[in-house]
């Protein structure tokens, strides 16, 4: 005689939150996000320093300049693109200027506005470093396997929801 659905489901928890791993607590999710960000950042920063004499922050600033019209952007645009404060971007650009990778120039329309522009040496350095960066990041994030699209979508939603600065 067939058993009813209730009898079949009697030993199966109805609340998936009670199942280990089925619904991680926010604290666990936060810990994993922080750990992954920290570990990937340190690994990529180390590789960029070792192979290209660039910090990850310096690389990101150079990459943003390389992708900007005329390979030039205001300090504010670089700060926003890289996620740095104004003093942080100034410090980063200072280091890149000292290395001969970037020059500062005044905007023609508003002499108060300072721009950073990539030099030919900066273009060469960012192109070489891009391969190291992108290959290492692809390798590490490849560990997500088939979950990459789901993780990317979920993180994009959280990012969009938190985009406005307080």
Tokens of 131: 């391969």
Whether 130 shows a pLDDT value over 60: the answer reads yes
The span from the CA of 57 to the CA of 62, in Å, is 9
Average pLDDT, the chain: 88
Tokens of 23: 């619904």
Q: Would you say the pTM of this structure is higher than 0.95?
A: no
Share of the chain above pLDDT 70, in %: 82
**Residue 117 burial (CB < 10 Å; 0-12/13-18/19+)?**
middle
The span from the CA of 56 to the CA of 42, in Å, is 9
Whether 1 shows a pLDDT value over 70: the answer reads no
Q: Residue 9: its pLDDT value, please?
A: 60
DSSP secondary structure of 118-160: E-HHHHHHHHHHHHHHHHHHHHHHGGGGGGHHHHHHHHHHHHH
Averaged pLDDT, 105-113? 73
The span from the CA of 105 to the CA of 88, in Å, is 18
Averaged pLDDT, 12-22? 63
Q: Residue 149: its pLDDT value, please?
A: 94
Angle 120-141/56-67 helices, nearest 10 degrees?
A: 110
pLDDT band at 111 (very low <50, low <70, confident <90, very high): low
């Amino acid at each position: 005689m067939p058993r009813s659905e209730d009898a079949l489901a009697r030993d199966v928890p109805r609340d998936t939150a009670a199942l280990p791993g089925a619904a991680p607590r926010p604290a666990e999710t936060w810990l994993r996000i922080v750990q992954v960000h920290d570990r990937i950042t340190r690994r990529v920063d180390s590789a960029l320093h070792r192979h290209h004499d660039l910090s990850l922050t310096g690389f990101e600033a150079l990459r943003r300049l390389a992708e900007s019209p005329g390979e030039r952007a205001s300090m504010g645009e670089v700060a926003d693109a890289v996620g740095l404060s104004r003093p942080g971007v100034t410090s980063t650009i200072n280091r890149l200027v000292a290395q001969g990778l970037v020059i500062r120039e005044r905007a023609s329309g508003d002499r108060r506005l300072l721009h950073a522009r990539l030099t030919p040496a900066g273009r060469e350095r960012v192109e070489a470093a891009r391969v190291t960066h992108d290959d290492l990041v692809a390798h590490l994030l490849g560990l997500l396997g088939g979950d990459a699209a789901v993780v990317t979508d979920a993180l994009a939603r959280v990012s969009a929801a938190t985009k406005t600065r307080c």
